């Protein structure tokens, strides 16, 4: 019965995407420093080899043919026949781009671009045999004969592995099989003994392999015949040619190192992870309801029950942390792709730019990670186009000819920060202010840097003298801020003329669950993210002072503005609680009636279920079934100029 391998396609697509990422990563590393060790070149070759083998197994002949041409180039590179020049690296990156486009076509069930793939094969072959080659490589025709004691599918699998191994190092031009002896005619640069050694890794004691050199000269290369490598078009052939569960590497280093092909991870559909997170969220709500009910029980009479409930609460928190960890991914996974972006954009603009990254291990929720890719892409391109000067300008300014862009990530106070910094010309403060006034944007008499630099995020605002393919139309930066606001993020700018610009993104760790402090405001219970709370202060009426109609208190070595969360708190002479909250460099005191407790709460979107409400980032369901709003500390501190610098500036 034929095996339907289409159900394995998603796994194949994911595997190919990983190998393509490896090819791009190593190619960019070689572009920066070609003096890599042999293992690096072997890893590059194995990535292409694995794509070709898997493509053959699943019947994607176009990808197999294209990757075969790339594989030949990489084999010449690792054997030292060609140098990793800029042209060679460019050809490898072009192959990466075309294969990624082909992969996207397979995913969406669209036809392959035959013209682009033909151009790619011609380009790769020309690069392999062109001016980059050290010396002509003598090709020889070899005859390979295989006799095996295996039967049926085991024999077919072994022969498929041998075909794959041969295809990785030579051109297979003729195959014959009479059921007892399998014969192939191959053309390549390897001697018979070397070819026999390589094939030993695809066979064992059940097989006999003979390799001899043919008398006739090798003919001109023929177009690649996919069927020579065991590629197939129907599922029945797939079932009898090779099992889809294994792809054997022919690289001797892989066998010598004893690598485990099983791996230590599994792929899980993200929908299943999201479903698990939703269930954990419901568990937390149920746990809160249970704790609320148990609070009325006598601690002595129900000691065992309360103790069991406490253990259940602790285990629930542990499950929550473990499940949330499944969706957390290192930011380095997206930082890696910007090496290519910086390289290509800088070359298009005639500039020299290097990229530095830091904090690659900082983790962020997968959904947030995907949402931040587009804003980061725009900001990096903008830094290269507007920020980094041309090499001549940099030298004239006493700077190195090559500019630097740094991507850094770090975690602080329950948020993840991503910085995009460049050592370019910086933002011209006066020019931005003049452009803002010309555009009719209201500014204060003595605007701060934050007020002026905030103008660049307004729709249609641009200071560019001319429009380029990348920027200058006044669109993009407003989209960056809007996209970040949609996921609860924030962006600010620091810049110094001639010294460069730093753009800082603040993101929540996750959009699903947070540790919150429940506070009472009048008859309502509200949730305050505990990561934003510095401390609590018992407040009496005599502690409050007023200046310019703004209430404040003396706090440590500065003053702290107060935000009364209810009219009762503002007019009452009794004691209240001021929660000192901070966000970025802003701080303020939120005056509430009482603190009710600390909880893990499940965040529910207000926009999805009601509408956007200023000052609130979401809502949650309490243990008693009531809905509580989650306060947005950033919006509270920045609206109405309530917040101010938490640490006074040095005089």
Span of 90-104, 116-130, 200-214, 524-538 with lowest mean pLDDT: 200-214
- d(CA 617, CA 605) in angstroms, rounded, equals 8
Specify the pLDDT at position 227: 39
Model confidence at 650, in pLDDT bands (50, 70, 90)? very low
| Mean pLDDT confidence for 467-481 | 57
| Mean pLDDT confidence for 358-362 | 90
- d(CA 327, CA 605) in angstroms, rounded, equals 19
| Residue 9 φ/ψ, nearest 5 degrees | -60, -40
478 class by beta-carbon count within 10 Å (0-12 exposed, 13-18 middle, 19+ buried)? middle
| Per-position b or e across 88-107, b if 16+ CB within 10 A of its CB | bbbbbbbbbbbbbebbeebe
Specify the pLDDT at position 570: 60
Mean pLDDT of all residues in the chain? 77
Say which CATH class 331-508 falls into. alpha beta
Calculate helix-pair angle for 9-32, 38-58, nearest 10 degrees: 150
Helix (H) or strand (E) holding 568: helix 567-571
| Mean pLDDT confidence for 332-352 | 87
Specify the pLDDT at position 203: 67
For residue 144, give both structure tokens.
């390979």
- d(CA 583, CA 589) in angstroms, rounded, equals 12
The distance in angstroms from the start CA to the end CA of the chain is: 83
pTM: 0.58
Structure-model confidence comparison of residues 161 and 379, the more confident one: 379
Is residue 239 predicted with pLDDT exceeding 60? no
> Which residues make Cβ contacts (< 8 Å) with residue 305, sequence separation at least 6?
294, 297
| Mean pLDDT confidence for 621-627 | 75
Domain boundaries, the chain: 1-133, 138-219, 271-329, 331-508, 513-645
| Mean pLDDT confidence for 123-137 | 67
Specify the pLDDT at position 421: 94
Specify the pLDDT at position 5: 56
Residue corresponding to tokens 């022919």: 250
Specify the pLDDT at position 202: 61
Q: CATH for 1-133, among 1.10.287.470, 1.20.120.160, 1.10.3720.10, 2.30.42.10?
A: 1.20.120.160
Is residue 250 predicted with pLDDT exceeding 60? no
In DSSP terms, 183 is beta-bridged to 145, 176
pLDDT in tens, 586-601: 788 888 888 888 877 7
Specify the pLDDT at position 201: 59
Span of 174-183, 304-313, 523-532, 636-645 with lowest mean pLDDT: 636-645
Specify the pLDDT at position 384: 92
Question: Which CA distances in Å does 85 have to 122, 348, 354, 612?
Answer: 18, 19, 18, 55
Is residue 406 predicted with pLDDT exceeding 90? yes
- In whole angstroms, how large is the CA radius of gyration of the chain? 32
pLDDT in tens, 76-119: 888 888 888 888 998 999 999 999 889 988 888 888 888 888 88
Q: In sequence order, what DSSP letters do the residues of 9-25 get, joined into one string?
A: HHHHHHHHHHHHHHHHH
Question: Which CA distances in Å does 254 have to 18, 49, 69, 534?
Answer: 18, 12, 22, 53
Residues belonging to the chain: 651
| Mean pLDDT confidence for 374-400 | 90
Specify the pLDDT at position 168: 66
Model confidence at 401, in pLDDT bands (50, 70, 90)? very high
% of residues, the chain, pLDDT over 70: 78
Architecture of the domain spanning 138-219: 2-Layer Sandwich (3.30)
Q: Is 651 helix (H, G, I), strand (E, B) or coil?
A: coil
Q: Give the CATH fold of the 513-645 domain.
A: OB fold (Dihydrolipoamide Acetyltransferase, E2P) (2.40.50)
283 class by beta-carbon count within 10 Å (0-12 exposed, 13-18 middle, 19+ buried)? middle
Specify the pLDDT at position 96: 92
């Amino acid at each position: 019965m034929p095996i339907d391998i289409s159900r394995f396609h998603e796994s194949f697509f994911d595997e190919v995407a990983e190998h393509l990422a490896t090819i791009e990563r190593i190619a960019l590393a070689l572009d920066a420093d070609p003096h890599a060790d042999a293992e690096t070149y072997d890893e590059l070759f194995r990535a292409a080899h694995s794509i070709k083998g898997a493509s053959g197994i699943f019947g994607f002949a176009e990808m197999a043919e294209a990757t075969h041409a790339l594989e030949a180039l990489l084999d010449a590179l690792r054997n030292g026949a060609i140098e990793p020049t800029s042209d060679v690296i460019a050809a490898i990156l072009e192959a990466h781009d075309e294969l990624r486009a082909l992969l996207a076509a397979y995913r969406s069930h669209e036809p392959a671009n035959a013209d682009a793939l033909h151009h790619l094969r011609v380009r790769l072959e020309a690069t392999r045999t062109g001016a980059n080659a050290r010396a002509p490589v003598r090709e020889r025709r070899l005859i390979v004969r295989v006799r095996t004691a295996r039967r049926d599918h085991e024999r077919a699998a072994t022969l498929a592995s041998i075909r794959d191994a041969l295809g990785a190092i030579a051109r297979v031009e003729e195959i014959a099989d009479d059921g007892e002896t399998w014969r192939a005619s191959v053309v390549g640069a390897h001697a018979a003994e070397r070819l026999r050694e390589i094939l030993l890794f695809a066979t064992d004691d059940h097989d006999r392999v003979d390799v001899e050199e043919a008398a006739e000269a090798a003919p001109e290369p023929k177009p690649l015949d996919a069927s020579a490598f065991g590629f197939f078009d129907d599922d029945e052939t797939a079932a009898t040619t090779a099992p889809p569960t294994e792809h054997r590497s022919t690289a001797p280093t892989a066998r010598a190192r004893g690598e485990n092909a099983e791996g230590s991870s599994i792929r899980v559909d993200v929908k299943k992870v999201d479903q698990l997170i939703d269930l954990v969220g419901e568990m937390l709500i149920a746990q809160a309801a249970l704790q609320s009910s148990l609070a009325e029980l006598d601690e002595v009479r129900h000691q065992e029950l309360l103790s069991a409930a406490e253990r259940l609460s602790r285990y629930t928190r542990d499950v929550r942390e473990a499940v949330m960890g499944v969706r957390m991914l290192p930011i380095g996974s997206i930082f890696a792709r910007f090496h290519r972006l910086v390289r290509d954009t800088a070359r298009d603009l005639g500039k020299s730019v290097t990229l530095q990254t830091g904090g690659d291990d900082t983790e962020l929720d997968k959904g947030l990670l995907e949402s931040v890719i587009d804003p980061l892409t725009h900001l990096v391109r903008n830094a290269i186009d507007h920020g980094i000067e041309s090499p001549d300008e940099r030298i004239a300014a006493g700077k190195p000819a090559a500019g630097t862009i740094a991507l850094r990530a770090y975690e602080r106070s329950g948020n993840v920060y991503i910085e995009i910094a460049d050592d370019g010309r910086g933002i011209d403060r006066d020019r931005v202010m003049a452009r803002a006034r010309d555009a009719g944007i209201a500014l204060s008499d003595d605007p701060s840097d934050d007020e002026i630099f905030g103008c660049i995020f307004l729709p249609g605002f641009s200071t560019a003298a001319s429009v380029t393919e990348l920027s200058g139309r006044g669109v993009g930066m407003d989209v960056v801020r809007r996209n970040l606001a949609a996921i609860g993020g924030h962006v600010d700018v620091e810049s110094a003329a001639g010294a460069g610009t730093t753009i800082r993104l603040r993101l929540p760790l996750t959009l699903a669950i947070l540790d919150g402090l429940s506070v009472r405001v009048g008859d309502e219970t509200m949730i305050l993210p505990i990561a934003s709370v510095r401390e609590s202060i018992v407040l009496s009426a005599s502690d409050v002072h007023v200046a310019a109609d703004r209430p404040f208190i003396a706090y440590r070595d500065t003053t702290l503005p107060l935000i009364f969360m209810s009219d009762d708190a503002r007019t009452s002479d009794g004691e209240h609680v001021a929660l000192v909250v901070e966000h970025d460099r802003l701080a303020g005191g939120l005056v509430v009636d009482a603190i009710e407790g600390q909880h893990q709460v499940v965040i529910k979107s207000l926009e999805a279920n009601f509408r956007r409400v200023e000052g609130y980032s979401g809502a949650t369901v309490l243990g008693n079934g009531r809905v509580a709003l989650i306060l947005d500390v950033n919006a509270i501190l920045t609206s109405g100029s309530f917040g101010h610098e938490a640490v006074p500036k040095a005089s």
